[in-house]
Amino acid sequence: MLIIFRLQPTLQQLNYLLNHLIEEILSGVKCINKVTSLLLALVLCFSFVGCKSKTESIATYKMYDSSSVYGITHNGSSSNVEMFAKDLCVVGTDDLGTSAVNSQVAGAAGAFNLTDKSVVYAQSIHEKMYPASTTKIMTAYIACLYGDLDEFYTVSANAVKQDSDSSIINLKEGDVISLRDLLYGLMLRSGNDAAIAIAEGMYGDVEKFVAKMNETAKSLGATNTNFVTPNGLHDENHYTTVYDMYLILNAAMQNEAFYTIFSASKYTASYTSGGSNKTAEWSTTNQYTTGKITTPSGFTVIGGKTGTTGAAGYCLVLLSENEEHDKIISIVFNADCRSNLYLLMNEILSNYCL
């Protein structure tokens, strides 16, 4: 029989209805109309129930809320509500394609087709890795987002205080140089002194700059990333993942100034040192661009950032374009040597990115 309660049933009545429905189904009743009626009654009851319990204060994550509601991104007053994952390559935790390449030579790697929003190669892409100087991708992005590239900074003693084997652009204390020139020195020559000069020039000290790096990383969804320095020199608490680095570069390349600097192969800087005008010429450390490594057939390298420390191994973050004009972000972290870094990168591009 069909049991109908008032439009706002008690919990006891709902419980009775549910039990009755279950009994009808389990007893093997063949009458479709009866079961359908019971289902309809149940739906009607729930449609008009006004829940008064304490659970009504628990907010659930709404599918179509913008990510700004949850502190992931920030929208201006005129912004439209957007899904966080829109226009992103989304992948699970399983590896993809590792059996067809020499994946054993690196700790993690990935390739992401930005045109069709697909992950075409995945090797431990969510595992925490030390990024070394590929960190400077985020450093440059922060500078391009929040800095005035034509502003001049005075280089501090702290900025030039680097280890003897550190990658630098040979800044001297008291040098006066523009943020734009510092960024080219940062990305082309991987200047650790340039990274500190940028951080201090923009925010007064390194810690505040790094806080902005971490804040921005989280806003991009790079939640498995933590930066300690703007240059990537080793620290146990300084780490990222292949997927997080993809998120960071994917966002950074939308910035015109960043894209111009990232895709440059050489640059001539002009600055003041010791009261005299100086120039410096810098070229990229990316061996595809220098011609030391042959780019795989069918690809054009747009830009890249290398990184190397004892703990991080050999790292490369690359932006390229295939012959179909699909843009590809490909990343290799923790390769065991430089030649194997480029070997694996070539295999990933040739096998999965054409």
- Can 136 be counted among the known catalytic residues? yes
- Beta-strand (E) ranges in the chain? 108-113, 118-123, 152-154, 176-178, 266-273, 276-283, 299-309, 313-322, 327-335
Q: Which residues are annotated binding-site positions for substrate?
A: 305
Q: Is 122 helix (H, G, I), strand (E, B) or coil?
A: strand
Non-local CB neighbours of 169 within 8 Å, separated by 6+ positions: 185, 189, 191, 193, 194, 280, 282
* 12 pLDDT above the threshold of 70: no
* 86 pLDDT above the threshold of 70: no
Residues of the chain with CATH 3.40.710.10: 98-150+215-352
pLDDT number for residue 88: 87
pLDDT number for residue 18: 52
- Can 67 be counted among the known catalytic residues? no
Higher pLDDT, 273 or 165: 273
pLDDT number for residue 65: 36
- Can 133 be counted among the known catalytic residues? yes
Q: Over range 70-97, report the average pLDDT.
A: 60
The whole-angstrom separation of Cα 198 and Cα 13 is 68
Say if pTM beats, i.e. exceeds, 0.95. Answer: no
Quick count: other Cβ atoms within 10 Å of Cβ 293? 18
Q: Which one-letter DSSP state was computed for residue 69?
A: G
Catalytic residue among 103, 156, 190, 330: 190
Catalytic residue among 103, 136, 178, 320: 136
Catalytic residue among 124, 133, 178, 320: 133
pLDDT above 70 coverage of the chain, percent: 76
Give the homologous superfamily in CATH for domain 98-150+215-352. Answer: DD-peptidase/beta-lactamase superfamily (3.40.710.10)
The whole-angstrom separation of Cα 134 and Cα 128 is 14
Query: Sign of the C-alpha dihedral, residues 131, 134, 137, 143?
Result: positive
* 298 pLDDT above the threshold of 50: yes
Please state, rounded to an integer, the average pLDDT across all residues of the chain: 84
